[in-house]
Amino acid sequence: MTIRVTVWNEYLHEKVHPEVTAVYPDGIHAALAAGIGSDGFEVRTATLEEAEHGLTEEVLASTDVLIWWGHMGHDKVEDAIVDRVHQRVMDGMGLIVLHSGHFSKIFKKLMGTGCDLKWREAGEKERIWTVNPAHPIAAGLPEYITIENEEMYGEHFDIPAPDELIFVSWFEGGEVFRSGCTWNRGQGKVFYFRPGHETYPTYYNPEVLRVIQNGIKWAAPSGAATPVRGNHQPLEQIGSKGN
Ligand code: ZN
């Protein structure tokens, strides 16, 4: 089954910061779309400055998994679009939030916490350790992924306790961080994955891309029936139990 993926990127840094343009000349979304590839995936992109941020009812209705990268434009995302994405997650669309997306409106709404963390831009080494090797998102990956230069994110990460913790990062400066976390929200599955600061070529790293591909497969809708809630007629005749 082909999984329909929409890669959403605010696409602002790449247009105004030459050091980011140099790394992602066509935008982070284009690099991610190319890196995810077409083997089992049908990938399209959407960006902040498109009408309805590129996330129309039609686009979301035909999206199995939405990937989200945002940073400087979080406040520019319309609340009505956030509500629309939120409803689609509740209805079963998968959502993968990357890196600075931790502060996006949609992630904060889904988490219900502040989602703040420590950070530092020093181009330091990151080791992403797999702490849940049986999880499908860790499939085919080594015990750890090394990224030579990344921004540091450190604990405490103000999130609700993840349903599953898959990766923990260590940074050269000494901090650690819960880098790969999952939650269920409604019928939808949410995966947060940490690396991907805009000035580093992280989204060309094949192991990082493998995690994202695995995340898409994990987050895709399961096909389970929509739960029916509210007052309910019995399925069996309810008889007296006798005395
Ligand atoms: Zn960053």
**What distance separates the 2 farthest-apart alpha carbons in the chain?**
81
pLDDT tens by residue, 190-233: 999 999 999 999 999 999 999 999 999 999 999 999 999 999 99
Tokens of 237: 């005749």
**Would you say residue 73 lies in a domain?**
yes
The rounded Å distance from CA 99 to ligand 1 centre is 6
Q: What pLDDT is recorded for position 240? A: 73
3 state SS of 51? helix
Q: In what order do the strands lie in the sheet with 188-193?
A: 41-47, 3-9, 65-69, 94-98, 188-193, 176-185, 164-171, 118-130, 144-154
The rounded Å distance from CA 229 to ligand 1 centre is 41
Q: Is the distance from CB of 200 to CB of 78 less than 8 angstroms?
A: no
The rounded Å distance from CA 111 to ligand 1 centre is 20
The rounded Å distance from CA 214 to ligand 1 centre is 22
Quote the CA–CA distance of 122 and 124 in Å, as a whole number. 5
Q: What pLDDT is recorded for position 242? A: 62
The rounded Å distance from CA 196 to ligand 1 centre is 7
3 state SS of 63? coil
Quote the CA–CA distance of 128 and 123 in Å, as a whole number. 15
The rounded Å distance from CA 101 to ligand 1 centre is 9
pLDDT at 243 over 60: no
User: 110, 38, 26, 37: which is closest to 68 by C-alpha?
Assistant: 110
Residue 15 β-bridge partners: none
CA distances from 109 to 114, 159, 180, 232 (A): 9, 11, 19, 30
Share of the chain above pLDDT 90, in %: 98
Quote the CA–CA distance of 62 and 196 in Å, as a whole number. 26
Share of the chain above pLDDT 70, in %: 99
**Would you say residue 173 lies in a domain?**
no
CATH number of the domain bearing residue 187: 3.40.50.880
**Would you say residue 226 lies in a domain?**
no
The three-state DSSP-derived secondary structure of 101-112 is HHHCHHHHHHHC
pTM beyond cutoff 0.85: yes
Q: Which residues contact 25 (CB under 8 A, 6 or more apart)?
A: 14
**Would you say residue 184 lies in a domain?**
yes
The rounded Å distance from CA 226 to ligand 1 centre is 37
The rounded Å distance from CA 197 to ligand 1 centre is 4
**Would you say residue 45 lies in a domain?**
yes
**Would you say residue 29 lies in a domain?**
yes
Domain hosting residue 109, numbered range: 4-113+179-219
Q: Tally the domains of the chain.
A: 1
The rounded Å distance from CA 51 to ligand 1 centre is 26
pLDDT tens by residue, 8-42: 999 999 999 999 999 999 999 999 999 999 999 99
Q: Is the distance from CB of 44 to CB of 2 less than 8 angstroms?
A: no
**Would you say residue 167 lies in a domain?**
no
pLDDT tens by residue, 70-126: 999 999 999 999 999 999 999 999 999 999 999 999 999 999 999 999 999 999 999
